[in-house]
Amino acid sequence: MAERVLPQHLGIIMDGNGRWARKRGLPRSAGHAAGAKVFKQIVLYCGGIGLKYLTVYAFSTENWKRPHDEVLSLIGLFKLYLRDALDHFLDRNIKVRFMGDTSVFDPQLQDLIEEIQNVSADRTGLVLNIALNYGGRAEIVRAVRMLAEEVRDGSLRPEQIDEASISRHLYTAGQPDPDLIIRPSGEQRVSNFMLWQSAYTEYLVMDVLWPDFTPKELERAFDLYAARDRRFGGI
């Protein structure tokens, strides 16, 4: 029997909550609540099958443009599910990290983020990166600024800056680049997600809205990924 091929690092753009709700005549907040439940299910499933790294796009820097009530609803959901994560994810040896500028959130949410990262720091199973107030361009700008400060301080020469030095200053420093990024909902955009890290990532767009995404859909994605020939620019 052939050995199962899994990505080492999986990224998911959790998309389609609003459309899922609209199709059912429900408020967008109901779609986000349904999507949050799927998030928990997929994280636990990934941890159970031995996936090493999972990065989920929860809230982008552009999402602040949404209606105020929707943003407040999303932040309330983050608090609810992060508290839940303290019980369910950590018991399953999942290490939780956050990507993005979380300093903009209220103190209660910031405290939850810090607590989860601290409590899970020594976990050795799945590494779960949650992208909150994250944008790929902003991440690269942040890395460049950090490098500029090192040059200014004399600890780095400009000619020493290379791809590896930029990678070391990203939120995913020390992690492999994503092998596969899945976008449910059928939308064919990268949406400012992991722009630097995804140079050779396989993308898979799936015609299923995120609240309808199941472990079965994930396994179908893994099968499609395993059938691809990754050449990384070679022949």
Catalytic residues: 15, 63
The one-letter amino acid code at 191 reads S
What dihedral angle (degrees, nearest 10) is formed by the CA atoms of 186, 192, 194, 196? 130
Buried b (16+ CB within 10 A) or exposed e, 81-102: bbeebeeebbeeebbbbbbbeb
